[in-house]
Amino acid sequence: MGRQHRLVECYVFIDDYLQAHPDLATWRRSNNDDPDFTDAEVITIALMQGYFQTDTLRRTYQLVSKDAPEAFPGRAGYKQWIRRLNKLTDLVGRLVRAVALKAMATNLKRLYVVDSLPIPLCQPIRHGRVRLPGEDGAYFGRSAKGWFFGFQIHALIHQPTGVVLTAMLLPFGRDDRRAVRALALSTEGGVLLGDQGYSGEETFDWLYDEAQTLHVMPSDEDKEGLSAVSQVRQRIESSFSRLWRRSADRVYSRSWRGPQASLLLKILDFNMDRAGIVAAA
């Protein structure tokens, strides 16, 4: 699939969504409330990071500017573009959910999996001199791959389709049970699978009473239940692997806003792929 086709697919979906929700442009409070370089174009350029498989948004912008200059004749310079993109983080989050709901419309099963993964903010070689946002909650943690400095992403995935319904970036070491409550409110009830980190009687009762969600984590004695959950977890880890191949584990930033915006863009790209809105790269 050519880059031009990918650009068109991304742009058409985002522009159609914005046309259907004109109220989302009301955040602007200036005379330039209808810029030549539209919000749909700003986000479309960023989504090409998945196509080009680059580590940074700066490199993505450079490649799009070089390979498809005719597609965005009114585009701003990189610094103005990245400022615009950061202001559109909430819109990107809405798009993530909109794509997920579109995919879920073809499969009405309310089965979800909640899981977490570490988000390193720098290479291990820089751990001794890191000056990244500790005040925002970045901290040292240990994963299966070793020590890292950064955050932790918690994601709620609709199991039948594999799309990410919602996700949140939290400081490493934050109680997983606080995350699962916030994530469960994005559902309209159903069954939620999660590991022991999300367990607890108080959490179980809260999820059932407040989010109409049944949290399932079989005990060690329930071999059949554990096998079923294990199969679901394997499928969801496959979904995470596909997301991670979009370089979601290579996020480098000096503030919390950078990783949050970058991860949402990669999840949006992932969901659009799973929903069939864009062809596989």
- Give pLDDT tens digits for 26-75: 555 554 556 778 899 999 999 998 888 887 888 999 999 998 888 888 88
Total domains present in the chain: 2
At 241 the pLDDT is 60
Any domain includes 262? no
Q: Which residues contact 263 (CB under 8 A, 6 or more apart)?
A: 119, 153, 167, 169, 248, 251
**Is 120 within a domain?**
yes
Domain end, chosen from 87, 122, 151, is at: 87
Q: Which of 58, 87, 116 is the last residue of a domain?
A: 87
Check: CB of residue 261 under 8 Å from CB of residue 86: yes
Residues 112, 8 share a domain:
no
* Distance between CA atoms of residues 258 and 223, nearest Å: 42
Q: Residue-wise over 184-199: b if at least 16 C-beta within 10 A, else e?
A: beebeebebbbeebbe
In a domain, 132, yes or no: yes
Residue 227: inside a domain, yes or no? yes
Residue 268 within any structural domain of the chain: no
Query: Are 77 and 159 contained in the same domain?
Result: no
Comparing C-alpha atoms, which of 55, 60, 105, 52 is closest to residue 82?
Answer: 60
The predicted structure's pLDDT at residue 185: 85
Asked, for residue 209, whether it belongs to a domain, the answer is: yes
49 and 120 share one domain: no
Question: Can you give the pLDDT at residue 10?
Answer: 94
Task: Tell me whether strands 190-193 and 213-216 are parallel, antiparallel or unpaired.
Answer: parallel
Q: What was the pLDDT predicted at 240?
A: 59
Same domain, yes or no: 83 and 118: no
Within 10 angstroms of residue 150's Cβ, the number of other Cβ atoms is 27
Is the residue at 102 inside a domain? no
Length of the chain: 281
CATH code for position 127: 3.30.420
Phi, psi of 223 (to 5 degrees): -65, -40
| One domain for residues 19 and 155 | no
Which residues 6+ apart lie within 8 Å of 195 measured at CB?
A: 115, 217, 233
Residues of the chain with confidence (pLDDT) below 70 = 1, 25-34, 122-139, 141-145, 173, 216-258, 280-281
250 in the same domain as 126: yes
Residue 27 domain boundaries: 3-87
Q: How far is CA 34 from the centre of its chain?
A: 28
In 10 A of CB 124, how many CB atoms?
Answer: 12
In angstroms, rounded to a whole number, what is the distance separating the alpha carbons of residues 148 and 45? 30
Look at residue 274 and tell me if it is in a domain: no
Residues 174 and 245 in one domain: yes
